[in-house]
Structure 1
Amino acid sequence: MDAFTAGLLQRIEATETDLTRARETGDDFLVEVEQAELDDLRRLAAEHGVQVTATA
């Protein structure tokens, strides 16, 4: 796995964690921000052929 793929997967995992935490605390604004970030990261992964398992 190259550095780009590893970094991207790490960012996705961290964002999924942050999104879960935002949902648990009821922070609707942060949920929207984290979801948008996650959508962008997943799009980037798809554009570069990086397979991502959706968990959030």
Structure 2
Amino acid sequence: MGEFTTTIEHRLDQAYRNLQEARTSGDEYLADTFTAEIEDLHRLATDNGVPIRRDEQQGEGRRGEERESG
């Protein structure tokens, strides 16, 4: 595993943790910001052939679902 892959995985792990904290605290703006970061990291990984572990895909698409229901 290369440094780029490791960095993407680390940033995704951190972004998912931060997203959960933002949701727990009720900060919708911050949650949207972390959701966008996760989406960007997924896109970056896909564009560069970095496989994303299944457990890192749990929050994917949540931003759109929240906006539709809100």
Does the alignment reach a TM-score above 0.5?
yes
Q: What's 2:9 paired with?
A: 9
Matches of 2:3 and 2:28, distance apart in 1: 33
Unpaired runs of 5+ residues, structure 1, are none
Q: What's 1:42 paired with?
A: 42
Q: What's 2:64 paired with?
A: none
- Aligned-partner residue type, residue 9 of structure 2: L
Matches of 1:48 and 1:9, distance apart in 2: 13
Tell me which stretches of 4 or more aligned residues in structure 1 moved more than 3 Å.
none
Sequence identity of aligned pairs in percent? 34
Q: What's 2:31 paired with?
A: 31
Q: TM-score, normalised by structure 1?
A: 0.92
- Aligned-partner residue type, residue 55 of structure 1: Q
* 1:55 Cα deviation after fit: 2.5
Across the aligned residues of Structure 1 and Structure 2, the Cα RMSD in angstroms comes to 0.8
Return the structure number with greater relative CO, CA threshold 8 A, min gap 6. Answer: 1
Provide Cα deviations, 1:18-56, integer angstroms capped at 9, x if missing partner. Answer: 001111111001011101111000000011111112122
Deviates more, 1:32-41 or 1:45-54: 45-54
